[in-house]
Structure 1
Amino acid sequence: MSVIETFSKRHWQIEEETRHRIRVEGLKGNEKALREQVAQDSRRRKVKNAVVEKLRPGWEMEMNETERWVVQALSGKLEPKPQDRAIVPGREVPALVEWADKHVFERKSVVADYELWSEALARGRGENFEVETVKQTVAERGYIRDRETGKLTTLEVLRRELFLVEAVNAGRRKYRALNADYKPAASLSEEQSRAVKQILGSRDLVTLFQGGAGTGKSHTLAQVVRGLEAANHPVVVLAPQNQQAADLRKDGLGEAQTVARALAAKVPLPRGAVVIVDEAGQIGAAAADMGKLVRQVREVEGRLILSGDTRQHGAVAASDALRAIEQYSDVKPVRLETIRRQDPERMRTVEQKKFVTKYREAVQAAAAGDLGKSFRLLDEMGCIQELDTEECYQKLAKAYCEAVSGDRPQKVLAVAQTWAEVREANAAIRQKLQEVKKLGRGVTVTAWQPSGLTEAQKRDARFLCKFQSGPDAGMGAYFVRDYGRFKKGDLCEIAGLGEQGVLLRKEGLVTEVSHEYAERFVVAESHSVEVATGERLLMKFNGKSVEGRAIRNGDLVTVKKVLSDGRIRVTGEDGKRKTLSAGQRMFVPGYAVTSYASQGKTVDTVLLAHANGETLVNRQQWYVGISRARGKIAVFTGDKEALRMHLEQASGNRELALSINPDEQSIEAARQLNQRLEEAFQHDLCVNSWQQHQSLHESVGLGQEVAVATEIAHGIEPAASIEPAVELGIEPSAAPVVAPAIKPEQKPEAAEVSEKISQQVWWQIHQHIAQQNNYHQSRGRGIRL
């Protein structure tokens, strides 16, 4: 029992009294309301004069030795010694805001100013500075601010999204049709056949192929590949994740590989290649992702087909590239609308056919964005059950066991929205499986799970020293790229912190790895998990088994045997046997997964856990979750009305930088930027070396904005100069974007340089503002330059 549980007396009193009333008085109904009534009836008056000094001895007596050790260990962290330091305005704050900028903009294109304030303040905890200094520093950084909401984006983020849209528009109707005469296979539906013809008849650089969950996109793409090969086009098939690429290979889409692997390859794309990207909605717009892919395709005079569904989960990285192209480019997507996963004709009985027909209507409503209708249809079908929180997990576990048992065991998946709910669901299902003898005797092992830290957090010592209490728990580093004696796939314990980096223990030897190389590993958190024969595990890493077979992040495997030397024999969903080495411990229980992890999976039965009525649910989570099954769905919630309200108010799409309607201050900041650029270049005309030229950029304090404008002034395609940095694993936000050196014989006149910079910088901003003015003109808004 934890310290919190020990002192949660009031909670246990309420629980005990509630169970007593249900048992003795036979009370039924909403347990949540009954619990609240018990809390009100049994509330005691507060004890007067209950000061800490009098209460502490009693508290210490109630704790056991372990609990006292935990409190003592935490006390030093929670009560730092006061530091007598004078406030030094502006000296440390810019660095804090710079860190906050890198952290929040890694996964968002648009943020509120208070998000930057909050992260900067948290980063500077223990330092002595004023909050107003943080606010002022944020205000002076030259962010582009929306005139209505006040939300912020950066010129760099906006430039990335603009580049994609402009590249797509520039490639419209500039090419020959891919294979306009191809006749698709007769096995395709009329809708699928039409989609194949439209894609192969495209004359655009980028062709968009959109289809909802279960519409048969992969089957259709297989025919597109055959049509391309018939016209002798080199075909490259990509997907964001290893598991997705493996699924494409099983569907007959050639040697599919991940986007990251293709971009990192030293061998360029074949000349004239047609690159097909499935699940393209999960790719960000950063230079290392979609931006770099578009550039590589253009360099080989190739073509790009982007297949995906922006109504499902998008990219983890900032900027949803596919959605930016869909919303702001002139290219119209080829669409599949008919859902085939929920097919009544595949059902055996009349009742099953009726159920699946209504189930498909609920999925169609969610795909159309009408989550309220989707909820209502499922509720009318009896698929949504309102239960007490604990009972939700018990009922879900029972339904899971029933699905995998019997004469016709089904493929089943439980889906929850938060990791806390996933853990609760996994624990309940596992307990039920043990009760029905579906699991053998378990062995407790230490497993690991990615922590989800951003690159900025990984380079910050305080985020790497958040060790959990206890001797066997902590954090580790899983290497995704080789570094020195650490090889890809190594999982090493974080032993502490050094002066310049993190201390990692491998084979008994501790090595300090500089924070500069944090992109080489993923920070993982340890947890104890019991593994038994029959166990279901979700793999959280990419690697190879002892036999050399592929193990992919997101694979669901079943344990066949736990060996005495620590190895674990498993079988994948394809039935192939694999052996995990004693060091391959990046996994979690796999009965229940998050909505994001469930995307792309197809099962017979899906069970959704919404036990916590306070948990918010967005559109993607609901749509992805309910659409996984072919024939059966059940939703378990602790508060049906709260879930319905959350869905009706749900959003889900992150804002794009292109959606920002700049305010007057942003325009004025851009004007000032032009003036500073002119002064900087006039000062720089006599500099003869590249090192001095680069130093100037740093001295004027313009950061990346200067570099972006400089590369435009020299006629360099945006972001082209950061690609070598990306190859080295440096984040785009951290990599300096630089212009080539101005050699003495190439010196232009100062006025000419200044005018060119001004014109080019303003051309890009002007283009965006013009688009926004057209959009907002009907509402009486708009801005002028």
Structure 2
Amino acid sequence: MITLASVGSASSAAEYLCQDNYYTADQTQDASAWFGKGADALGLTGKVEEAAFAAVLDGKLPDGSVIAGKDGVHRPGVDLTFSASKSVSLVAMLGGDKRLVEALKESVTATLRWTEKNVVEARVWDAAQGRQVPERSGNLIAATFLHDVNRNGEPQLHIHAVVANATMASDGKWHAVRNDELYRAQHVLSAIHNAELRSRVEALGYETVPARNAIDGAFEIKGVTREAVEAFSTRRAEILAELAKEDRGSARERELAALSTRRGKELEPDAARQVAAWKETARAIGFDPSRLIESAMARSAGQQTVWSRVVEGMRGIGERGIAIACAMGLTPRDGDPLVPERLGRLEPKAFAAAQAVASAARELGEREAAFSRNDLIRTALERQGPVTVDMIEARIDLLQERGLLVGSGPADRDRMLTTEQALAMETKVIALAQAGKDSVQPIADKDGIVARLQEQARAIGLRRLNTGQEQAGVAILTSRDRVHLVQGGAGVGKSAALAPVAAIAREEGRQVVALSHVGRIAREFGEKTASPASTVDAFLARYARIIDGSASADKVVVVRAELSGALVMVDEASQIGTDRLARLIALANEMDVSKLVLAGDIKQLPAIEAGKPFAQLQQQDLGQSQITENLRAQTPQMVAINRALEQGDVSEAFAVLKPATTEVASGKIPDAAAAMWANLPREERDNTILLAAGRAMRSAGNAAAQEALIQRGEVGERGVTLEVLDRVTITREGARQLKGYQDGRVVAIETNLRAQGFARGERGTVIGIKDGKVELVMPDGEIRRFDPDRLPRNLKHDAVTIFEPKQISLHEGDRIRWTAKDAERGLLNGDIAHVARIDGDTITVKGSDGQLHDLPRGDPMLERLDLAYAINVHVAQGMTARDGIIMMSERERMLNTSASFLVAVTRIAENATLVTDNPSRVERQVESRTGEKSSAIETARENGHALPSPTETKDRELALERTPERSEPGRGSSGPDLSRDRDYDFGM
């Protein structure tokens, strides 16, 4: 693991870090050292002396150069702390295997060498641009210090690498370091360090296993028990306890918690007493690392590693490569577009690197069409094979040379990468949409169509259609293009505009279908347009065999009769990803749908899956309508906010919100917002929503609001405790890795896995990981083993779903929402309901339609609900409320995007209130992060890559279709499990 922290004082840092190591005096030799080409240029070598180190941190370099700080204030530098895993520290320090200390030092050196080459930047003057621009300098000045205990006096090997704020640029002058890229690269540096250290630990004869929370490829030495790790981890327990107080845990928050709980170092420690205490603790728990060390040394002497044993007895290169990849949790297959080499062409470790890169690209590609080179490196190294960053980068470079990865070369790491498949898919969507131009008969004649639209609007009970709504209706009904796009901001009445269109289509004898991405919005859209409604997933699943070409000729005739000439309307189309939209347009073309209307807003939240096809299609020569007049905003405040956001002026929107902004102490946002909400008169409260960006804030807001209502006596004081299931957000490729299977999580099987002995619908609870397999305890108490790397590839649905159990208290009167659907009872994912009564083991719930549902203990829907006083913006999109209280924290910086802020604010018709811990910083975060999805086409263009022609796209599509899907008997690729909707919650 690597943590980053700014150095506050040059003199204090020098005095603190240059002291000898504290407890293991026999390791103080070479405990400090200078590193870097910048240090070499200044003659800084060998042991770090305090005076020289303090001067460098103060910006005074040995050659007489002085680094001037902004406004006369010089930043000393950044402390990168490289920590070994606890098991490595225990074996090294309690067992005395000093080889591990050297392994740590070498891994830090390797990581710093990569950092120096790829990350360190300066700002230099560019005369052509007339401004300072970033430049990768390729040199740094760093001082490294080996320490071996944490603040609680426990074994913890770590190295402080203090990167001084000085680097030489191309102009031959010393400049301050631009730290932006260094902080952005924290996770990839951590992954590189873990991979380098793991490879050295394994070379010493040890076996390693992924850590319980294997972020950035964290690992432990196999054989060091969890009890031993926890016995010497009281410092970690203190930090976690501090984080648990407010349900948080980002990297920055861990850093703050560490600072708030840290103790001072003992100035003159008694090393002998401390080591004796360690050994007593080890004896008490029965931990003796001597056998581990003896076995490791024996293997090392015989030049054996865990990987050499994996391929023992195998003669063929291909066979050995497959064995190593499988041991990494990967499943090689023929026809992988990112591993086109014939089996046996790559030596085993190169084959492992190729499979790691391919797996990483698949995982990243499920959510984004393009991704950074550093993210690809990090994700590939998380596979924890016998690979290091040099091997991964060599593979990425090769794929780029062959055009299988599209992007710039290694010298330009700021550019994004994409895959040939993603590029082909985006090109395919555009080609499919353009194929429908001038290809259908209009639904209605132009003569009198405006009057018909307004007449239908009156009959439905709508206000008179405005110009934008009217023009959209005319274009949809009278054009000869199959695909029509309707772009409009939140609250402009897009779905209302489609209601009279649907009515006229029915008058003309056309079937009308209303679709959206989740059941609740689809149902509401269907009610507005008086049309049969469905989710996009359910619709695609119904016609899956038509889309993939496997339907019988008779079935094709039946479906064409159903859909030919139909009007298919999709609401919130911006939330439909590239793959789903491609299938939807292909079906419309094949079955001669008269009109496929895609209505949405490119400024609101995009699709969870990869791509932004709704935005891309708006750049094409296709039928399009714009609806701009806001109908939702009812007060001067909301009119001004909506106007500012429509113009992209985030600063002005926050300025308008300022009088209604309440600033509270860090961590107090949920309590303050809930109290504000609970103190409203009941009628106002019922028309006011609490909005959060993410899961943690939403959960805290729900708990605070419930407690406030209990104290007011407005919900029952006595409650019942339920264990509910929160869906863990994970990609299909990520589900094939062990890191998602943490103890206590519930794994639901979504497809038949007969080779592993699991059937669709079964589920178990994770109790551990053994030999690369997940151990599950089933409801009947049986313990079974599940192998994630054997999950089928290329499914259009999840092979498994992972849930995090959590406890909630439910009281009579509580407001809840469903997190899954029960079609038979009409309970839809995202729908709001209320607890009508609790009678013994039965909870009676009143649905949004007023119907009562008795849920006895054991009813599966009792696990798939949550409190709904606070909701997050993904659930809120498509909703309207009179008033709203928005909770935003600077701690949730990755969630504070302009898209999520726009969705939150534009749900509100009359009065918006913002509760935050830092208004100015939150505003900057929202301004700097759009939340926009990446695009393969845009990435290709930025890198000067030619786009594939329609013929090439078709050829690639056919090649992908010929790739066998590793689905098992009993479950085809007919689509998702329709017993539930997607329950995406990207609050994390």
TM value normalised by structure 1: 0.71
**Farther-moved stretch of structure 1 (409-418 vs 443-452):** 409-418
For residues 664 and 157 of structure 1, do their structure 2 counterparts lie closer, same or farther at Cα, with a shift above 3 Å needed?
closer
1:387, distance to aligned residue in structure 2 (A): 1.6
For residues 161 and 570 of structure 1, do their structure 2 counterparts lie closer, same or farther at Cα, with a shift above 3 Å needed?
same
Give the Cα separation in 2 of the matches to 1:274 and 1:60.
76
Partner of 2:955: 712
Task: Specify the SS of the correspondent of 1:106.
Answer: helix
Partner of 1:165: 430
Give the Cα separation in 2 of the matches to 1:258 and 1:418.
24
What code does the residue aligned with 1:466 have? Q
Is 1:539–2:831 an aligned residue pair?
A: no
Give me the CA root mean square deviation.
4.0
**Farther-moved stretch of structure 1 (486-495 vs 429-438):** 486-495
Match of 2:605 among 297, 300, 313: 313
Higher relative contact order (CA 8 A, sep 6+): 1
Give the Cα separation in 2 of the matches to 1:401 and 1:57.
56
Partner of 2:474: 197
**Farther-moved stretch of structure 1 (171-180 vs 488-497):** 488-497
1:439, distance to aligned residue in structure 2 (A): 2.3
Match of 2:721 among 441, 444, 448: 444
Any residues of structure 2 matched to 1:604-623 within 5 Å, and which?
604-612=882-890, 615-616=893-894, 617-623=896-902
1:58, distance to aligned residue in structure 2 (A): 8.2
Partner of 2:564: 271
Match of 2:778 among 501, 505, 524: 505
Is 1:493–2:765 an aligned residue pair?
A: yes
Partner of 1:477: 747
Match of 1:96 among 326, 344, 356: 356
Task: Specify the SS of the correspondent of 2:729.
Answer: coil
Partner of 2:135: none
Give the Cα separation in 1 of the matches to 2:496 and 2:761.
33
Any residues of structure 2 matched to 1:107-506 within 5 Å, and which?
107-124=367-384, 127-141=385-399, 142-146=404-408, 149-179=414-444, 180-181=446-447, 182=449, 183-184=452-453, 185=455, 186=458, 187-191=463-467, 192-266=469-543, 268=559, 269-286=562-579, 289-302=580-593, 303-327=595-619, 329-343=620-634, 356-379=635-658, 382-403=659-680, 405-406=681-682, 409-440=685-716, 441-460=718-737, 462-467=738-743, 474-478=744-748, 492-494=764-766, 503=776, 505-506=778-779
For residues 628 and 455 of structure 1, do their structure 2 counterparts lie closer, same or farther at Cα, with a shift above 3 Å needed?
same
Give the Cα separation in 2 of the matches to 1:629 and 1:558.
22
Checking the alignment, whether the CA contact within 8 Å between 1:400 and 1:412 is kept in structure 2 is yes
Gapped runs of 5+ residues in structure 2?
1-232, 247-255, 288-294, 309-347, 544-554, 977-988
What code does the residue aligned with 1:282 have? Q
Give the Cα separation in 1 of the matches to 2:639 and 2:274.
60
Checking the alignment, whether the CA contact within 8 Å between 2:817 and 2:866 is kept in structure 1 is yes
Give the Cα separation in 2 of the matches to 1:99 and 1:300.
36
Partner of 2:921: 642
Q: Deviations over 1:472-508 (max 9, x none)?
A: xx11134556788988776643466698887462455
1:61, distance to aligned residue in structure 2 (A): 12
1:455, distance to aligned residue in structure 2 (A): 0.4
Match of 1:550 among 800, 822, 826: 826
Task: Specify the SS of the correspondent of 2:798.
Answer: helix
Match of 1:653 among 928, 932, 942: 932
Checking the alignment, whether the CA contact within 8 Å between 1:238 and 1:245 is kept in structure 2 is yes
For residues 601 and 81 of structure 1, do their structure 2 counterparts lie closer, same or farther at Cα, with a shift above 3 Å needed?
farther
Checking the alignment, whether the CA contact within 8 Å between 1:238 and 1:257 is kept in structure 2 is yes
Task: Specify the SS of the correspondent of 1:655.
Answer: coil
Give the Cα separation in 2 of the matches to 1:486 and 1:599.
37
What code does the residue aligned with 2:955 have? I
Partner of 2:880: 602
What code does the residue aligned with 1:450 have? R
1:219, distance to aligned residue in structure 2 (A): 1.4
Checking the alignment, whether the CA contact within 8 Å between 1:496 and 1:502 is kept in structure 2 is yes
Checking the alignment, whether the CA contact within 8 Å between 1:273 and 1:297 is kept in structure 2 is no
Task: Specify the SS of the correspondent of 1:630.
Answer: strand
Is 1:7–2:300 an aligned residue pair?
A: no
Checking the alignment, whether the CA contact within 8 Å between 1:393 and 1:611 is kept in structure 2 is no
Gapped runs of 5+ residues in structure 1?
16-35, 63-67, 73-79, 344-355, 468-473, 671-704, 733-785
**Farther-moved stretch of structure 1 (508-517 vs 103-112):** 508-517
Give the Cα separation in 1 of the matches to 2:931 and 2:674.
29
1:223, distance to aligned residue in structure 2 (A): 0.9
Give the Cα separation in 2 of the matches to 1:264 and 1:216.
29
The aligned length equals 624
Partner of 1:729: 973
For residues 730 and 317 of structure 1, do their structure 2 counterparts lie closer, same or farther at Cα, with a shift above 3 Å needed?
farther
Task: Specify the SS of the correspondent of 1:307.
Answer: strand
Is 1:576–2:851 an aligned residue pair?
A: yes
Q: Deviations over 1:315-359 (max 9, x none)?
A: 1111122112113x112521211111223xxxxxxxxxxxx1221
Task: Specify the SS of the correspondent of 1:92.
Answer: helix
Task: Specify the SS of the correspondent of 2:715.
Answer: coil
1:153, distance to aligned residue in structure 2 (A): 0.7
For residues 298 and 398 of structure 1, do their structure 2 counterparts lie closer, same or farther at Cα, with a shift above 3 Å needed?
same
Give the Cα separation in 1 of the matches to 2:816 and 2:497.
31
What code does the residue aligned with 1:330 have? D
For residues 436 and 553 of structure 1, do their structure 2 counterparts lie closer, same or farther at Cα, with a shift above 3 Å needed?
same
Checking the alignment, whether the CA contact within 8 Å between 2:638 and 2:908 is kept in structure 1 is no
Checking the alignment, whether the CA contact within 8 Å between 2:638 and 2:909 is kept in structure 1 is no
Q: Deviations over 1:11-39 (max 9, x none)?
A: 89xx9xxxxxxxxxxxxxxxxxxxx9xx9
Task: Specify the SS of the correspondent of 1:176.
Answer: coil
**Farther-moved stretch of structure 1 (242-251 vs 493-502):** 493-502
1:281, distance to aligned residue in structure 2 (A): 1.0
Partner of 2:340: none
TM value normalised by structure 2: 0.57
Give the Cα separation in 2 of the matches to 1:366 and 1:250.
29
Checking the alignment, whether the CA contact within 8 Å between 1:97 and 1:120 is kept in structure 2 is yes
